[in-house]
């Protein structure tokens, strides 16, 4: 087969990469040393036209399948890495065929779970990662996606206020169906449990797991949390009296879980005394959408929650409760959010996403106020945060410049 690049928006610079060399042998000046999870295929990061790309060497059939799955997931709005293209028909200098390459965009500000465990370990990291993974798995299942290989390694995490948001990174075994059967969901969940326990046991064997974390318990927790979230989102409920209030309560509950209700069925039973209600279409991103509508800011769900809380407090403090919400939001962006971000020196802004910085400044200010026992004005909080926290953080835009030797070793274990 002739050399071929399949891409939705091909970047000519892709042609400059050394495709005639097996990926494992790409020279250090091409490759960016970034941390990654466990994988059977060879995966490398490269810097190209100011972007960082991930390249995975994989059989052509699997590469095209994964490319299509990732594009479908993007179209469905599920958090996943962005597919750039597939390079196939590669041959080395002596004319021997090489495997195809799947190219994805490196997910900015993302961290593989091993990197999260490598650093200053907050004790409930495992639990917070779990919440993010459960939310992702439920979203995938609602969208009809059977993953077939759920694991921490196949997920990337981004800070999302004090929680994490999870993104799918490996869609090789995925299948998109109009709707999943219960068997498919339960099998995926079972795989998730086994893999996560295996991954945590591996961290334990490498002395990287907080001794208070029991892998088996985390695995069980995952199943419990998944089932609870799935039920909250999809379960049919029978209401007997005060139906109007109960329907509103169910919607409010879903909103607080971060979901909007696109469709809800209500049907009365035979004798008309009870009402059955069941959400049919639920859409994640309730808070993110509300914030975007009010302010135009596009951020992750928990960050949005955080910003909305701050916005509501601002509206209250300024006595703007009689004004429209939009007006208050505009005032908050102009007088609170933007000044905070602008107070961050330019050279430090790549360390974290703006919304994450804002969240951390708020936390920092609260913390300062507690310890100093006084009201700390915003500008002082920002300055203190910049000097004492942000300056010492490594750059999470893509973690470039990090000494990867400080990260846990991730040997390549190619199949074959």
Partner 1 sequence: MATVTFDGATRIYPGATKPAVDKLDLSIADGEFLVLVGPSGCGKSTSLRMLAGLEEVNEGRIFIGDRDVTDVQPKDRDIAMVFQNYALYPHMTVADNMGFALKIAGLPKDQIRSRVEEAAKILDLEEYLTRKPKALSGGQRQRVAMGRAIVRQPRVFLMDEPLSNLDAKLRVSTRTQIASLQRRLDVTTVYVTHDQTEALTMGDRIAVLKDGLLQQVGTPLEQYDTPANVFVASFIGSPAMNIGTFPIVDGAAQVGDAKLPLTRTTLAAVTPDDDGKIVVGFRPESLDIVTEAAPGAIAVEVDIVEELGSDAFVYGRVPNLDPRASFTSDHVIVRADPRDVPAKGSVVRVTVRPGEQHIFSAATGLRLPA
Ligand X SMILES: Nc1ncnc2c1ncn2[C@@H]1O[C@H](COP(=O)(O)OP(=O)(O)OP(=O)(O)O)[C@@H](O)[C@H]1O
- Interacting span for partner 1 (CB under 8 A) from 14-22, 158-166, 193-201, 241-249: 193-201
Nearer to partner 1, 194 or 256 (CB): 194
Q: Which residues of 35-56 are buried (b: 16+ CB within 10 A; e: fewer)?
A: bbbbbebbbbbbebeeebbbbb
Q: Does 398 bind Mg ion (CB under 5 A)?
A: no
Closest residue to ligand X: CB criterion: 37
Residues in contact with Mg ion, shown as a per-residue x/- string from 112 to 151 under the rule CB under 5 A: ----------------------------------------
Two tokens, residue 27: 């020279």
d(CA 168, CA 70): 9
Task: For residue 323, count CB atoms less than 10 angstroms from its CB and return exposed for 0-12, middle for 13-18, buried for 19 or more.
Answer: middle
Task: Out of 108, 173, 255, 404, point to the residue binding partner 1 (CB under 8 A).
Answer: 173
- Interacting span for partner 1 (CB under 8 A) from 124-132, 157-165, 177-185, 349-357: 177-185
Nearer to ligand X, 170 or 261 (CB): 170
Task: Out of 112, 174, 219, 258, point to the residue binding partner 1 (CB under 8 A).
Answer: 219
Nearer to ligand X, 106 or 365 (CB): 106
Nearer to ligand X, 70 or 294 (CB): 70
Q: 76 with 178: CB under 8 angstroms?
A: no
Tokens 């439920």, residue located: 138
d(CA 233, CA 182): 15
In angstroms, what is the minimal distance from the CB of 153 to Mg ion? 5
Cα-based angle 300, 305, 308 (whole degrees, multiple of 5) = 115
Nearer to partner 1, 201 or 292 (CB): 201
Alpha helices in 239-377 (DSSP H): 243-256, 286-295, 301-317, 325-332, 338-342, 354-372
d(CA 315, CA 312): 5
In angstroms, what is the minimal distance from the CB of 38 to partner 1? 5
Nearer to ligand X, 37 or 258 (CB): 37
Nearer to partner 1, 40 or 316 (CB): 40
Element (H, E) at 232: helix 215-234
Q: Does 9 bind partner 1 (CB under 8 A)?
A: no
Q: Does 154 bind Mg ion (CB under 5 A)?
A: yes
In angstroms, what is the minimal distance from the CB of 239 to partner 1? 29
Residue 61 binding: pick among partner 1, Mg ion, ligand X, none (C-beta 5-8 Å cut-off by kind): partner 1
What is the binding site for ligand X (CB under 6 A)? 36-37, 39-41, 43, 54, 56, 81, 104-107, 110, 112, 149, 153-154, 156, 169-170, 172, 177-178
Tokens 């995952």, residue located: 222
In angstroms, what is the minimal distance from the CB of 99 to partner 1? 8
d(CA 14, CA 150): 30
Q: Does 95 bind partner 1 (CB under 8 A)?
A: no
Q: What DSSP string runs through 132-196?
A: HHHHHHHHHHHTTEE-S---STTEEEEEETTEEEEEE---TT-EE-SS--HHHHHHHHHHHHHHH
Nearer to partner 1, 37 or 285 (CB): 37
Residues 6+ apart with CB under 8 A from 220: 193
Element (H, E) at 200: helix 182-205
Residues in the chain: 416
Alpha helices in 39-95 (DSSP H): 60-76
Q: Does 59 bind partner 1 (CB under 8 A)?
A: yes
Nearer to partner 1, 15 or 228 (CB): 228
In angstroms, what is the minimal distance from the CB of 329 to ligand X? 33
Task: Out of 57, 160, 172, 353, point to the residue binding Mg ion (CB under 5 A).
Answer: 172
- Reduced to 3 states (helix: H, G, I; strand: E, B; else coil), residue 106 is coil
Binding residues vs partner 1 (CB under 8 A): 38-40, 58-59, 61-62, 99, 146, 148-149, 151, 153, 172-173, 178-179, 181-184, 186-187, 190-191, 193-195, 197-199, 201-203, 205-206, 216, 219, 409-411, 413-416
């Amino acid at each position: 087969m002739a050399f071929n690049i399949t891409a939705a928006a091909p970047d000519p610079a892709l042609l400059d990469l050394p495709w005639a060399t097996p990926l494992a042998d790409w020279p250090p000046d091409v490759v960016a040393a970034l941390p990654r999870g466990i994988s059977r295929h060879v995966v490398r990061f490269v810097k190209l036209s100011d972007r960082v790309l991930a390249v995975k060497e994989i059989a052509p059939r699997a590469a095209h399948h994964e490319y299509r799955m990732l594009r479908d997931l993007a179209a469905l709005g599920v958090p996943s890495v962005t597919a750039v293209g597939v390079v196939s028909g590669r041959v080395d200098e002596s004319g021997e065929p090489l495997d195809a390459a799947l190219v994805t965009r490196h997910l900015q500000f993302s961290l593989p779970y091993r990197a999260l465990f490598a650093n200053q370990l907050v004790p409930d990291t495992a639990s917070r990662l779990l919440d993010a993974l459960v939310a992702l798995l439920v979203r995938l299942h609602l969208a009809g996606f059977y993953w077939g290989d759920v694991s921490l390694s196949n997920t990337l995490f981004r800070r999302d206020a004090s929680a994490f948001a999870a993104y799918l990174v490996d869609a090789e075994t995925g299948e998109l169906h109009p709707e999943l059967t219960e068997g498919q969901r339960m099998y995926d969940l079972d795989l998730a449990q086994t893999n996560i326990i295996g991954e945590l046991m591996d961290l334990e064997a490498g002395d990287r797991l907080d001794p208070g974390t029991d892998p088996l318990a985390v695995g069980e927790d995952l199943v419990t949390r998944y089932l609870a979230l799935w039920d909250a989102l999809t379960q049919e409920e029978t209401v007997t009296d005060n139906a109007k209030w109960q329907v509103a309560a169910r919607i409010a509950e879903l909103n607080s879980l971060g979901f909007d209700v696109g469709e809800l069925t209500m049907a009365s039973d035979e004798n008309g005394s009870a009402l059955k209600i069941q959400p049919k279409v639920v859409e994640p991103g309730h808070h993110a959408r509300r914030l975007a509508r009010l302010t135009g800011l596009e951020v992750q769900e928990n960050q949005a929650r955080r910003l909305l809380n701050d916005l509501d407090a601002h509206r209250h403090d300024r006595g703007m409760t009689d004004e429209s919400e939009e007006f208050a939001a505009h005032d908050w962006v102009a007088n609170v959010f933007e000044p905070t971000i602008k107070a961050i020196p330019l050279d430090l802004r790549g360390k974290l996403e703006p919304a994450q910085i804002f969240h951390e400044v708020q936390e920092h200010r609260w913390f300062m106020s507690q310890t100093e026992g006084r009201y700390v004005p915003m500008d002082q909080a920002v300055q203190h945060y910049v000097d004492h926290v942000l300056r010492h953080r490594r750059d999470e835009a893509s973690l470039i410049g990090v000494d990867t030797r400080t990260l846990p070793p991730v040997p390549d274990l190619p199949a074959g």
